[in-house]
Amino acid sequence: MKIAIAIATTGRPRTVAETLRRLTRQTRAPDRLVVVGAATEDAPQVTQGAEFFVAPGRGLSLQRNHALDLIADEADVVVFIDDDYVPEPGFLAGVERLFTDRGEVVAASGHLIADGIHSRGLTFEEADALIAAYRQPGDYRLVDDTGTYGCNMAFRLSAAPRVRFDENLPLYSWLEDTDFSAQYARVGRVVRTNHFAGVHLGVKSGRTPGVRLGYSQIVNPLYLVRKGTAAPRFALGLASRNLIANIVKSLRPEPWIDRRGRLRGNLLALADIARGRADPRRVLEL
């Protein structure tokens, strides 16, 4: 089995360099490791055997599609990880075990030892300590899921070779993972599993500004419902939770989140929906 790792990155060359250093600890090396930036300035100073490419534009979906085009004919499984995701040493060995033993599985997300996206974020040193304390499970489990989590997700390419990330979801591409994996769910089993694991740092630098993300939090779920890759109940629940959280927490926002910007983006999105002009690409104008 040939396994490729693809990392899309924007504005965080030092972060991706640290991630690449830690990928050298894998007990099973990737057959190919590609990093796709939006500009030459995104290149890590230390590549650790990775190949760096510049996509024809900026945006998570566009950059991941560029990675797919580079590796599609050379890999059986592609693993997408964020540039601030640290896998435990047995990560790729676990991916290989899963996709070898379970032929019905076409897409999977691994176990998150910790996720800094919901807090101030984690450092690489904290991730190293968490991984050092982590113990492989005695039994491997699969839980069916509606989608994969973008910071660590693996796909059997032969199951849906023509599927691509939707470039109508620009920049941070909120819910691009949901849309992409929903298309795999039509042909096989999508799971969360403890076959492989890691830590998502949740680095705050280089992320989409609050207004733009807030707009995407409302409009992108609606777009996926219309496209048929998200259920109305899922979309309404997600958008509602984000709106309520931004309203409540904008009174005393966390230092690491632009709650008021997100709330403003939410309200702009609702106004566009009322006018019949809601479009995920509108964030490019904000």
The per-residue pLDDT of the chain, averaged, comes to 96
**pLDDT at res. 146:** 87
pLDDT in tens, 108-122: 999 999 999 989 999
Residue 210: closest CA among 166, 251, 267: 267
pLDDT in tens, 125-180: 999 999 999 998 889 999 999 899 999 999 999 999 999 999 999 999 999 999 99
Instruction: Output the CA torsion 125→129→132→133 (10° steps).
Output: -160
**pLDDT at res. 137:** 85
Residue with tokens 């509602």: 240
Instruction: Output the CA torsion 36→42→44→45 (10° steps).
Output: 140
Residue with tokens 């230390």: 46
Q: In which region does residue 276 sit, left (phi positive, over 0), alpha (psi from -120 to 50) or beta (all else)? A: left
Give just the sign of the alpha carbon dihedral 261, 124, 23, 15.
positive
Bridge partners of 54, per DSSP, are 37
Chain centroid, CA 150 distance in Å: 2
Residue 37: closest CA among 14, 15, 17, 56: 56
Residue 262's CB: how many other CB atoms inside 10 A?
A: 29
5 CB-near residues (< 8 Å, 6+ apart): 23, 30, 32, 33, 34, 78, 79, 80, 81, 92
Distance from C-alpha of 88 to C-alpha of 196, rounded to nearest angstrom: 8
**pLDDT at res. 205:** 77
SS3 150: coil
Contact between 203 and 88 (Cβ < 8 Å): no
**pLDDT at res. 84:** 97
Distance from C-alpha of 211 to C-alpha of 258, rounded to nearest angstrom: 8
Distance from C-alpha of 67 to C-alpha of 70, rounded to nearest angstrom: 5
**pLDDT at res. 167:** 97
Positions of the chain with pLDDT lower than 70, given as ranges: 206-207
**pLDDT at res. 206:** 64
In angstroms, the Cα distances linking 224 to 96, 130, 160, 203, 282 are 31, 35, 19, 27, 15
